[in-house]
Structure 1
Amino acid sequence: MPDLALTEEQLEFQKLAREFAENELAPKAYECDQKAEAAQDVLKQCWELGLVTTLIPEQFGGLGLSLVESCVIGEELAAGCSGIYGAIETNTLAQLVLLALGSEAHKKKFLQPLTETAIFAGVDVGLLGSAEAKIDCLRVKDDFVLSGSAVVANGANSEWFLVAATGSPKRIFIVSRNAKGVEIGEPVFTIGRKALALTNVKLKSVQVAPSDTLEVNQHALQLLHDQAACLLAAGSLGIARSAMKNAIQYSKERKTFGVAIAQHQAVGFMIADMAKDIEAARLLIFQACAIAGSEQTGLVSAAVARTFAQDMAMRIATDAVQIYGGYGYSKEYPVEKLMRDAKSYQVYQGSNVDSKVEIGRQLVHQ
């Protein structure tokens, strides 16, 4: 059983991320949600603190942190604003892919620049899910030629992005936004995590050299899925914690029959259930991180952590709206945004249903 207590260093990163989220992300959450874009000045500040390049090894200019630290930081930033955090989360997902599948040359070419300038990477939103790729791939002499479209997280802001293609299922392609034939299109408007900057990207006969592709093997791919599941679960956890915090604060201020509604047993039970599920989700995530960090695969820990956190965040955000009553449905209060944001995680990079199918399949065939 892994030791789930945070070290002093991890607690310092947690404190740094929490203070940044409370002072910089949370105050701009509503504005970024309305504009459906991340605050670039805030992202630059986050990069300057090193919170954008956590997983990149020190030899390439990053912090070289473990998955646990990245999830601790992710929870804090998502609690501030999961939409703005989406740009950072996407960047970290791209790091996971390069670290799992890339060579030393890949890491030097693509990861090191992320530590030198405040630039970001993008990821096709279906890359780690079960949806079929909408990009065709042809081999022309030595190069690969990609044509089709994809919805890319960080698409408008990324220096390069990762996509999959039909016709070459055992490769992931690294595409430069400045490559000939790349068209950065209109943003995709969603109901939640609007600052994630989902963008329609068209590829028209885009040439990709073999050196800019990542070969996929089953073990590395499973490990990547497990690591990504931990990171996404941490985002859901941050939303849930923010929803509970707001619900507690409101329940102490709102009075009925002469007393704060927090004193009513029904409300107290709802808040107790929130706390119980949040603590359980965090422990599941830490355990899944420890297992993924040891490069064990074939276990359900990461999928369980992700699914539990996704569903828990949706439930807690909905209950927070309920505690607010009619005000919870108003944009004047933060919980309606949290409910919309929570839903995003249930359908992003593979749905919670996909995760449950995978859990069942693995358990049945053990």
Structure 2
Amino acid sequence: MAVERTLHTPEAEQLLDLTREIVDKELLPRAAGDEDNAVFPREVFGTLGAAGLLGLPYSSDHGGGDQPYEVYLQVVEELARGWLAVGLGVSVHTLSCYPMAAFGTDEQRAAHLPDMLGGDMLGAYCLSEAASGSDAAALTTRAEDTGRGYRVNGAKAWITHGGRADYYTLFARTGGPGSGAKGISCFHVPAGTPGLDAAAPEHKMGMNSSPTAGVLFDGVELDEGALIGPRDQGFGIALSALDSGRLGIAACAVGVAQAALDAAVSYSRERHQFGRAIGDFQGVGFMLADMATQVAASRELYLAAARLRDAGRPFGERAAMAKLMATDTAMRVTTDAVQVFGGYGYTRDFPVERYMREAKVLQIVEGTNQVQRMVISRHLARS
């Protein structure tokens, strides 16, 4: 189903057309098979980088696309429509680039961003730990000041691209005991640094082509140039990055929901019962109408939040709303799509069961939807 979009420049139209071409020719034909076999499509990120799609919201001074977030997110949505592992992978990579792009020195940006934005380097974002998921300020991974740099010990959990990334954007404690959120710093850690390792990938109910693993730091030595932004102020960097990252997850959720809706509408026209297409029955037709309305509303909410961000206005509350609504919508719409397919929807002969399994994780990553409700309610209490 073609989605009508309002894009402000011919360049943005061309980017969306290019993205759809890549999705239709390169992602859709292989997504189901690679998901079944847990194949990580690393080369796809190189293709996206070469096409200029991996650094869209960042400055062209370092290889980015100079595109507004409103355009970037629609590219992410299209990628997720074709294959969530790729759409979410782009969102996570963009998240991992943000601290360097926004808080790095000129020398750091010049040294690292061209490869990060060009597809040569794929990133991971290391904030969560096994005992401090939603309570990220309670992290215990420690970066000890050695006088020449930092020595890192600890473990991160649930890291997308863990063990496959080329670099890790790490948040570790540099403050003393009880320093809480005020004693956390941000670091750039290249893969292959001695002492850096990854645990075995998690066995998940979906997103099998997107590796998720713990990342281990055992006496990892970093020089002073690895520090991004001021020491002990990394938690603010993490939260700032997550506000934008939540919009990426919202766009992914809309992409998955749109794919499920498209499949359900198509099937409702082809499947006949009692001499009629099942879409002609009110029970199915009304369900499809609700699904389409929820997808459209979720898209408009993430775009509205993106416009606030592009205008330099506060957007954190709207980002939380967009992530909450879009991911809950994806769960409902994919569940209803399985229902439209009936028994066939429960089989792997059709993609809707995969969409349903994939939608679930979007309600959890980058802040559970319970955390999003906390964020929104705190904004309301202060208003």
TM norm structure 2: 0.88
* Cα distance between partner residues in 1 of 2:135 and 2:358: 21
* Cα distance between partner residues in 2 of 1:217 and 1:174: 12
1:122 aligns with 2:139: no
* Alpha-carbon distance, 1:236 to partner: 0.6
Aligned to 1:53: 55
* Alpha-carbon distance, 1:208 to partner: 2.0
* Alpha-carbon distance, 1:117 to partner: 5.5
Please give the secondary structure, in 2, of the residue aligned with 1:56: coil
Question: Pick from 134, 137, 144: which aligns with 1:138?
Answer: 144
Q: Give % identity.
A: 26
Kindly indicate whether the alpha-carbon contact (under 8 Å) linking 1:29 and 1:84 is maintained by their aligned counterparts in 2: no
Aligned to 2:179: none
* Partner AA of 1:269 in structure 2: F
1:163 aligns with 2:170: yes
Which aligned pairs between 1:28-67 and structure 2 lie closer than 5 A?
28-67=30-69
Cα 1:141–1:12 shift into 2, 3 Å: same
* Alpha-carbon distance, 1:198 to partner: 1.3
* Alpha-carbon distance, 1:125 to partner: 6.1
- RMSD of aligned alpha carbons: 2.1
Cα 1:122–1:16 shift into 2, 3 Å: same
Q: Deviations over 1:126-181 (max 9, x none)?
A: 39953443523322224221112123212233211112223444312211111111
* Cα distance between partner residues in 2 of 1:124 and 1:36: 22
Kindly indicate whether the alpha-carbon contact (under 8 Å) linking 1:61 and 1:116 is maintained by their aligned counterparts in 2: yes
1:174 aligns with 2:188: yes
* Partner AA of 1:177 in structure 2: A
Which aligned pairs between 1:60-75 and structure 2 lie closer than 5 A?
60-75=62-77
* Cα distance between partner residues in 1 of 2:33 and 2:163: 18
Aligned to 2:355: 338
Please give the secondary structure, in 1, of the residue aligned with 2:58: coil
* Alpha-carbon distance, 1:314 to partner: 0.7
* Cα distance between partner residues in 2 of 1:183 and 1:163: 13
Please give the secondary structure, in 2, of the residue aligned with 1:161: strand
Aligned to 1:16: 18
Aligned to 2:7: 6
Kindly indicate whether the alpha-carbon contact (under 8 Å) linking 2:141 and 2:173 is maintained by their aligned counterparts in 1: yes
* More moved, 24-33 vs 87-96: 87-96
* Alpha-carbon distance, 1:234 to partner: 0.5
Kindly indicate whether the alpha-carbon contact (under 8 Å) linking 1:62 and 1:115 is maintained by their aligned counterparts in 2: yes
Which aligned pairs between 1:183-198 and structure 2 lie closer than 5 A?
183-198=197-212
* Cα distance between partner residues in 1 of 2:34 and 2:86: 7
Kindly indicate whether the alpha-carbon contact (under 8 Å) linking 2:196 and 2:220 is maintained by their aligned counterparts in 1: yes
Please give the secondary structure, in 2, of the residue aligned with 1:119: coil
* Partner AA of 1:130 in structure 2: D
* Partner AA of 2:173 in structure 1: T
Question: Pick from 204, 228, 250: which aligns with 2:218?
Answer: 204
Kindly indicate whether the alpha-carbon contact (under 8 Å) linking 2:49 and 2:55 is maintained by their aligned counterparts in 1: yes
Q: Deviations over 1:290-321 (max 9, x none)?
A: 11223333751111111110101111011101
* Partner AA of 1:105 in structure 2: E
Cα 1:302–1:32 shift into 2, 3 Å: same
Cα 1:56–1:157 shift into 2, 3 Å: farther
1:147 aligns with 2:153: yes
What residue ranges of structure 2 are gaps of 5+ in the alignment?
A: 176-182
Kindly indicate whether the alpha-carbon contact (under 8 Å) linking 2:45 and 2:119 is maintained by their aligned counterparts in 1: no
* Alpha-carbon distance, 1:60 to partner: 1.0
Aligned to 1:309: 326
Cα 1:87–1:37 shift into 2, 3 Å: farther
TM norm structure 1: 0.92
* Cα distance between partner residues in 1 of 2:277 and 2:191: 54
* Alpha-carbon distance, 1:217 to partner: 6.7
Cα 1:39–1:223 shift into 2, 3 Å: closer
* Partner AA of 1:136 in structure 2: R
* More moved, 193-202 vs 115-124: 115-124
Q: Deviations over 1:14-56 (max 9, x none)?
A: 1211121121111111122122232233333222211122233
Question: Pick from 280, 292, 308: which aligns with 1:291?
Answer: 308
Aligned to 1:350: 367
